[in-house]
Chain A
Amino acid sequence: MSAVFKREIQSYFKSPVAYCIIGFFGILTGLYFWNVNLSNMQIEFSYTLGSLISFVIFFIPVITMKLFSDDKKNGTEVLFRTAPVSTWRIVIGKYLASAVVFGCMLLESMVCPVIMYFFMNKGGTFPLAMTISGYIAFTLLGLAFLAVGSFASSVTDSQPLAAVLGVIILIVINFIETVGEHIKGTFGSILVWLSLSSRYNNFVLGMFDFSALIFYLSFTAMMLFITIINIDRKRWN
Chain B
Amino acid sequence: MIEIRNLVKNYGKVTALDDVSFDVKKGDILGFLGPNGAGKSTAMNIITGYLAPTSGNVVIDGIDAVENSLEARKLIGYLPEQPPLFGEMTVKEYLNFICDLKRVPKKKRTAMLDDICYIVKIGDVRNRVIRNLSKGYRQRVGFAQALVGDPPILILDEPTVGLDPKQVVEFRRIISSLGRNHTIILSTHILQEVTAVCSDVVIINNGKVAKTGSLSDFVSTDANVKRFAVTFDTGDKEVAEKLLSGVFKNYSFSRTDHGMLVYRFSTDSKSTGVKELFFNSASAGVALYELKPMEKSFEEEFVRIITSDMKEGV
CB within 8 Å for A75 and B100 given contacts A10-B89, A82-B50 = no
Which residues in chain A, 78-112, are within 8 Å of chain B measured between CB atoms? 78-86
B141 smallest CB distance to A (angstroms) = 12
- Is the pair A81, B103 in contact by a Cβ cutoff of 8 Å? no
Cβ–Cβ < 8 Å partners of B102 in chain A: 83-84
Which residues in chain B, 76-99, are within 8 Å of chain A measured between CB atoms? 76, 78, 80, 82-89, 93, 97-98
Cβ–Cβ < 8 Å partners of B80 in chain A: 75, 78
Which residues in chain B, 212-267, are within 8 Å of chain A measured between CB atoms? none
B70 contact from A2, A74, A86, Cβ within 8 A: A86
- Is the pair B85, A2 in contact by a Cβ cutoff of 8 Å? no
- Is the pair B100, A2 in contact by a Cβ cutoff of 8 Å? yes
- Is the pair A82, B97 in contact by a Cβ cutoff of 8 Å? no
- Is the pair B73, A82 in contact by a Cβ cutoff of 8 Å? yes
- Is the pair B100, A6 in contact by a Cβ cutoff of 8 Å? yes
Cβ–Cβ < 8 Å partners of A85 in chain B: 70, 101
The docked-state distance in angstroms from the alpha carbon of A195 to that of B281 is 99
Cβ–Cβ < 8 Å partners of A86 in chain B: 70
A184 interface residue per 8 A CB criterion: no
The docked-state distance in angstroms from the alpha carbon of A236 to that of B80 is 19
A76 interface residue per 8 A CB criterion: yes
**Chain A residue with the shortest CB-CB distance to B146:** A82
Cβ–Cβ < 8 Å partners of B48 in chain A: 82
- Is the pair B82, A75 in contact by a Cβ cutoff of 8 Å? yes
A7 interface residue per 8 A CB criterion: yes
**Beta-carbon contacts of A1-36 to B below 8 Å, as 1s and 0s?**
011101100110011000000000000000000000
A237 interface residue per 8 A CB criterion: yes
CB within 8 Å for A15 and B52 given contacts A82-B76, A85-B101, A237-B11 = no
Cβ–Cβ < 8 Å partners of B52 in chain A: 235-236
**Beta-carbon contacts of B51-91 to A below 8 Å, as 1s and 0s?**
11000000000000000001101101010101111111100
- Is the pair A11, B50 in contact by a Cβ cutoff of 8 Å? no
- Is the pair A82, B78 in contact by a Cβ cutoff of 8 Å? yes
B84 contact from A4, A14, A78, A84, Cβ within 8 A: A78
B50 contact from A3, A6, A14, A81, Cβ within 8 A: A81
The docked-state distance in angstroms from the alpha carbon of A81 to that of B73 is 9
The DSSP consensus for interface residues of chain A is: helix
Cβ–Cβ < 8 Å partners of B45 in chain A: 78
B123 interface residue per 8 A CB criterion: no
B183 smallest CB distance to A (angstroms) = 17
Cβ–Cβ < 8 Å partners of A236 in chain B: 52
B49 interface residue per 8 A CB criterion: yes
- Is the pair B70, A84 in contact by a Cβ cutoff of 8 Å? yes
- Is the pair B85, A76 in contact by a Cβ cutoff of 8 Å? yes
- Is the pair A6, B86 in contact by a Cβ cutoff of 8 Å? no
CB within 8 Å for A3 and B84 given contacts A81-B50, A82-B73, A235-B50 = no
A176 smallest CB distance to B (angstroms) = 35
- Is the pair A6, B97 in contact by a Cβ cutoff of 8 Å? yes
B104 smallest CB distance to A (angstroms) = 10
The 30 listed contacts between A and B (C-beta, < 8 Å) are A3-B97, A3-B100, A4-B101, A7-B89, A7-B97, A10-B93, A11-B88, A14-B88, A15-B88, A74-B84, A74-B86, A75-B80, A75-B83, A76-B84, A76-B85, A78-B45, A78-B78, A78-B84, A80-B101, A82-B49, A82-B76, A82-B78, A83-B73, A83-B101, A83-B102, A84-B70, A85-B101, A235-B49, A235-B50, A237-B11
Q: Which are the 8 A-B pairs with shortest beta-carbon distances?
A: A3-B100, A79-B84, A75-B82, A84-B73, A76-B84, A82-B48, A84-B74, A3-B101
B residues lining the A interface (CB < 8 Å): 11, 45, 48-52, 70-71, 73-74, 76, 78, 80, 82-89, 93, 97-98, 100-103, 145
